[in-house]
Amino acid sequence: MYAQGREARLTAAIVGESGLPPADRRALAFTERFEKEFIDQGDTRRTIGETLEIGWTLLETLPREDLHRIPEEAWARRAGRGPRHEGLGPPTRSNLIRHRRRLERVRKGIDLLTRKRQALVADLFRVATPAIEARTRVEESAARAYPALLGAAAAHGARASRRWDGRRGKWKWR
């Protein structure tokens, strides 16, 4: 639906929104709401449950015949859900212990991903620093060589300058 809305946005730029068929207008409206409410959350931090709830709420604004890939079982499960967090199980001590262990695994995973990201960034800088330094040296050499090239062109004419012939692998006089 989002991809259809993006295509409808491009078409609307050409023919105008009123020239779109009703399905494309619905897709365009969905795309604008999806980008505003789901993707662009601004400084707001939301849980995965809140994000999924927003996604389902947006999907419920569309006619079901436009949503070909969502099976009826998913809609049926959705009909029985409220805004609370289902799937956590009853509030028993064993569930609390299970969820604490799961939370600990998630925290360890976050820590591991953070360390991996830091290692990758350090590796990137280790690889990129010589390239940046080489580029700086090339730019400095070019800045020093350019006045000499201008002087040679002024003294001997533009035809006296050489250029590199990559096919033959040697300098060629113009």
- Give per-residue pLDDT as tens, 55-75: 888 888 888 887 888 888 888
Decide which of 163 and 96 is more confident. Answer: 96
Question: How far, in Å, CA of 31 to CA of 23, rounded?
Answer: 12
Instruction: List, in sequence order, every residue forming a beta bridge with 103; answer none if it has no partner.
Output: none
**Domain ranges within the chain, ordered by starting residue:** 2-79, 89-140
Strands 170-173 and 162-165: antiparallel
**Percent of the chain whose predicted confidence (pLDDT) is above 90:** 18
Q: Is 143 left (phi over 0), alpha (psi -120 to 50) or beta?
A: alpha
pTM of the model: 0.42
Which has more pLDDT, 113 or 2?
113
Separation of alpha carbons 46 and 21, rounded Å: 35
Q: What is the pLDDT of residue 43?
A: 81
| pLDDT surpassing 60 at residue 84 | no
pLDDT higher than threshold 80 for residue 158: no
pLDDT in tens, 3-43: 888 888 888 888 888 888 888 888 888 888 888 888 887 78
Query: How confident is residue 148, by pLDDT bands cut at 50, 70 and 90?
Result: confident
Q: Report whether pLDDT(83) > 50.
A: no
Number of other CB atoms surrounding residue 81 within 10 Å: 13
**DSSP label at 168?**
T
pLDDT for the residue numbered 47:
86
Q: Quick one: pLDDT at residue 86?
A: 54
